[in-house]
């Protein structure tokens, strides 16, 4: 029998620790010598990335053992930090020094690349007996030197194969080893704006040729034979597959075009959206809101959906005959590595991850919603409160947490996320928004954000949240907004630009666009040219849009979570927001995680951050969080802590000129009585008295307590 409890306070079997362990982070998968290999983040081992294998008998072991970690920093976001030869030699980028190393099972790694300061490698691939990579060298110039290189697997050195662009990615070697194809682009474009597909012969006797004109986003070249390339290009508004022949006369034709994307934003070097099977068929991801896996017969153009539950973050990793390795999340399974036979998709095998955070009765069913916004349709996925044992009161609407993805050029699909279930099982709904600028809906939707970052994204998340409330599905007075990085920017901009949200959570969010343009790494150094405008011409727009330019508009409680070693959005941004909130007397909390960068990798950080978010919303929205300790907010120079005396107002640093204002706000938000305060000086004692506090007899205090103490007693009705 279901019990009735206030939304947000429902008991749940999902702990933050369980969410951290169920939220696996994968980086590639391969068929190697009859086994399946994959890379997986290990939060319990300081977030390192291990390479593991599953043998034919089902046993799993680490190929790359602790303390080694495969992690690339090329383009800062890395990707493709490992690959393997056909006979089982692992090649990986050492996360500690960015050098490439080789290791055989049971042996110690051997270094293949020289100790060059400022050099990093990524996008490793093993193709036709060659180890290819993207090399990035920081040589003192504003733009690092980048090139496609071939690394001798026996330690004989590094050979440069291609250069000439600010950025290079996705090298592909022809089957006979005579030609190289790759993707390149230059500042100020991002790879989803404009790239060029180039091909060069490796004999050095001719110049590289461009197969695309650089006016669209071409991604992922794959050789079908020595003269034919398969790639994806969005020249017609969607990332569709194309086949180009280099034989005379040259041809370039679409392959089964659709109103969906078989391509996406190239944030990480190892991302793949399709693969060619040995029999000539193509297996591909198609995305329009949700992902779908299909098999394409190029000769006829026929398309057959595989019908498997892979609806979010799907990536085609490797093929072996008709077998395909893919990484994806589904509506009923969290992100995992899957082995699928395209001719027998009903018997897909989960290799790693892909479990349910809890039973299906605890998993919310994603509901795709579309609302009309000021700039057009806005797409989102709503996850309602879901708990088989508890329901809310008929007279109460649930609070909702509105998620804003990062990027901003990114995308979310419907999935059985453990983090989503953590919230929904407690009676807090989640609304995951693909605001204008997101991928997965075509170039026009993506370019809605062009020059409008801080406007369109804010309007769209406001429209989505307001639409949900207007439909009677969410409490309009208890809408919170959360996002990280670029999503954090939208959180902050929405808080200062609208009155829709009653609380916010910013994870390493951008508060000052000018500072971001000046401080960020090279990959995104000119990103804001397209999102806001080029500097210095558009400096006034940067000032108008930046949340820190409007500190007087911060009014609702804000939780700020930040990595101390973040090089994308440094802690100075978060601390400037914190200082603005403190100056304004806005309730807030700032948590700095040592050893964390842009995105949290350690288990203890993930657990603490998630529990902090829950306790924060419980404090702001007034619901109990029985399995998480109470959360204390700072208001100006004041906070509350549990001490030997009791619930005590604590002065942070020193009593400021705004102490009376801050005390009034704190008392109005602190429900626990009695409430104590130590009078650190006569002025503070006078302020406490003016707000109803009375002095405590020293004999009533615990031994060793400094006097004088004041107390705000319970009211007559017991509040």
Total Cβ atoms within 10 A of residue 715: 9
| pLDDT tens track for 29-82 | 999 999 999 999 998 888 899 999 999 889 999 999 999 999 999 998 999 999
CB of 553 within 8 A of CB of 497? yes
DSSP state of 55: -
CA torsion angle 662 668 674 677 (round to 10): 0
- The two three-digit tokens of residue 420, written as one number: 């989503």
Cα-trace Rg, the chain: 27
Q: Is the pLDDT of residue 320 over 90?
A: yes
Q: CA 352 to CA 338: how far, in whole Å?
A: 7
pLDDT for res 512: 93
Residue 218: pLDDT band with limits 50, 70, 90: very high
| pLDDT tens track for 597-652 | 888 888 899 999 999 999 999 999 999 998 898 888 999 989 988 888 888 998 88
Mean of all residue pLDDT scores within the chain: 93
Judged by average pLDDT, the poorest of 327-331, 594-598, 641-645, 675-679 is: 641-645
Q: Is the pLDDT of residue 114 over 60?
A: yes
Q: CA 241 to CA 223: how far, in whole Å?
A: 13
The number of residues in the chain equals 719
Residues 316-337: what's their mean pLDDT? 95
Q: CA 5 to CA 553: how far, in whole Å?
A: 35
pLDDT for res 357: 67
CB of 648 within 8 A of CB of 664? no
pLDDT for res 35: 96
Report the percentage of the chain scoring pLDDT > 90. Answer: 80
Q: What would the DSSP string read from start to end of 173-195?
A: E-TTSSEEEEEEE-TT--TTT-B
Judged by average pLDDT, the poorest of 90-94, 309-313, 625-629 is: 625-629
CB of 521 within 8 A of CB of 534? no
Q: What would the DSSP string read from start to end of 64-77?
A: E-TT--B---TTTT
Q: Is the pTM of this model over 0.85?
A: yes
Q: CA 271 to CA 191: how far, in whole Å?
A: 13
- The two three-digit tokens of residue 494, written as one number: 């929405």
CB of 125 within 8 A of CB of 150? no
Sheet holding 240-245, edge to edge: 218-225, 228-233, 240-245, 251-254
3-class secondary-structure state, position 668: helix
Residues 254-259: what's their mean pLDDT? 97
Residue 278: pLDDT band with limits 50, 70, 90: very high
| pLDDT tens track for 409-468 | 999 999 999 999 999 999 999 999 999 999 999 999 999 999 999 999 999 999 999 999
| pLDDT tens track for 150-179 | 999 999 999 999 999 999 999 999 999 999
Q: Is the pLDDT of residue 380 over 50?
A: yes
Residues 134-157: what's their mean pLDDT? 93
Q: CA 287 to CA 603: how far, in whole Å?
A: 31
Residue 715: pLDDT band with limits 50, 70, 90: low
Residue 230: pLDDT band with limits 50, 70, 90: very high
pLDDT for res 717: 45
pLDDT for res 511: 93
Total Cβ atoms within 10 A of residue 711: 23
Q: Is the pLDDT of residue 589 over 60?
A: yes
Q: CA 558 to CA 283: how far, in whole Å?
A: 45
Residue 425 φ/ψ, nearest 5 degrees: -70, -20
Q: Is the pLDDT of residue 276 over 80?
A: yes
Judged by average pLDDT, the poorest of 74-78, 204-208, 341-345 is: 204-208
- The two three-digit tokens of residue 182, written as one number: 């790759």
| pLDDT tens track for 507-561 | 999 999 999 898 888 999 999 999 999 999 999 999 999 999 999 999 999 999 9
Total Cβ atoms within 10 A of residue 154: 9
Q: Is the pLDDT of residue 716 over 60?
A: no
């Amino acid at each position: 029998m279901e019990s009735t409890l206030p939304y947000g306070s429902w008991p749940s079997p999902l702990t933050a620790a369980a969410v951290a362990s169920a939220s696996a982070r994968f980086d590639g998968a391969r068929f190697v010598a009859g086994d399946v290999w994959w890379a997986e983040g290990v939060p319990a081992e300081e977030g390192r990335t291990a390479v593991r294998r599953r043998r034919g008998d089902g046993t799993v072991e680490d190929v790359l053992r602790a303390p080694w970690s495969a992690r690339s920093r090329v383009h800062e976001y890395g990707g493709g930090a490992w690959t393997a030869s056909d006979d089982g030699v692992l090649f990986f980028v050492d996360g500690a020094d960015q050098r490439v190393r080789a290791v055989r099972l049971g042996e110690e790694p051997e270094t293949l690349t020289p100790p060059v300061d400022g050099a990093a490698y990524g996008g490793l691939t093993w193709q036709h007996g060659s180890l290819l990579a993207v090399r990035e060298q920081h040589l003192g110039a504003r733009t690092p030197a980048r090139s496609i290189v071939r690394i001798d697997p026996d330690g004989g050195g590094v050979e440069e194969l291609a250069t000439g662009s600010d950025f290079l990615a996705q090298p592909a070697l022809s089957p006979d080893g005579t030609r190289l194809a790759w993707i390149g682009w230059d500042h100020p474009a991002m790879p989803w704006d404009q790239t060029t597909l180039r091909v060069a012969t490796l004999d050095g006797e001719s110049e590289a040729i461009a197969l695309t004109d650089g006016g669209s986003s071409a991604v992922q070249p794959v050789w079908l034979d020595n003269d034919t390339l398969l790639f994806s290009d969005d020249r017609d508004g969607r990332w569709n597959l194309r086949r180009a022949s280099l034989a005379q006369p040259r041809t370039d034709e679409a392959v089964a075009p659709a109103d969906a994307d078989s391509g996406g934003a190239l944030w990480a070097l190892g991302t793949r959206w399709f693969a060619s099977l040995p029999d000539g068929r193509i297996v591909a991801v198609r995305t329009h809101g949700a992902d779908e896996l299909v098999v394409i017969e190029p000769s006829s153009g026929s398309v057959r959906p595989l019908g498997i539950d892979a609806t979010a973050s799907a990536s085609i990793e490797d093929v072996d005959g008709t077998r395909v390795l893919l990484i994806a999340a589904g509506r009923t399974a969290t992100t995992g590595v899957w082995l699928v036979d395209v001719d027998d998709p009903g018997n897909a095998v989960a290799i790693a991850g892909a479990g349910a955070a809890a039973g299906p009765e605890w998993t919310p069913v994603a509901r795709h919603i579309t609302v009309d916004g000021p700039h057009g349709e806005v797409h989102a996925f709503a996850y309602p409160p879901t708990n088989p044992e508890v329901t809310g009161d008929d007279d109460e609407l649930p609070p909702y947490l509105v998620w804003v993805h990062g990027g901003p050029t990114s995308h979310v699909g419907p999935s059985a996320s453990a983090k989503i279930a953590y919230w929904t099982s407690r009676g807090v709904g989640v609304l995951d928004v693909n605001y204008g600028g997101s991928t997965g809906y075509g170039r026009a939707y993506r370019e809605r954000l062009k020059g409008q970052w801080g406007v369109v994204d804010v309007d769209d998340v406001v429209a989505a949240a307001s639409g949900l409330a207007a439909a009677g599905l969410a409490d309009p007075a208890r809408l919170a907004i959360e996002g990280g990085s670029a999503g954090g920017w939208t959180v902050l901009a929405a808080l200062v630009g609208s009155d829709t949200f009653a609380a916010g959570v910013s994870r390493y969010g951008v508060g000052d666009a000018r500072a971001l343009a000046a401080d960020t790494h090279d990959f995104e150094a000119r990103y804001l040219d397209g999102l806001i405008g080029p500097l210095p011409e558009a400096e006034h727009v940067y000032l108008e849009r930046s949340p820190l330019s409007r500190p007087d508009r911060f009014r609702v409680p804000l939780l700020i979570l930040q990595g101390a070693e973040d090089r994308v959005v440094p802690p100075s941004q978060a601390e400037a927001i914190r200082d603005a909130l403190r100056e304004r007397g806005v309730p807030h909390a700032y948590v700095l995680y040592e050893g964390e960068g842009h995105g949290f990798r350690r288990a203890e950080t993930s657990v603490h951050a998630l529990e902090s978010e829950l306790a924060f919303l419980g404090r702001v929205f007034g619901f109990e969080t029985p399995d998480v300790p109470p959360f204390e907010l700072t208001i100006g120079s004041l906070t509350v802590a549990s001490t030997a005396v009791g619930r005590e107002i604590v002065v942070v640093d020193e009593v400021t000129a705004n102490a009376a204002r801050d005390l009034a706000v704190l008392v109005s938000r602190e429900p626990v009585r009695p409430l104590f305060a130590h009078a650190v000086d006569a002025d503070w004692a006078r302020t406490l008295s003016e707000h109803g506090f009375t002095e405590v007899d020293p004999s009533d205090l615990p031994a060793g307590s400094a006097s004088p103490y004041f107390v705000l007693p319970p009211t007559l009705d017991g509040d």
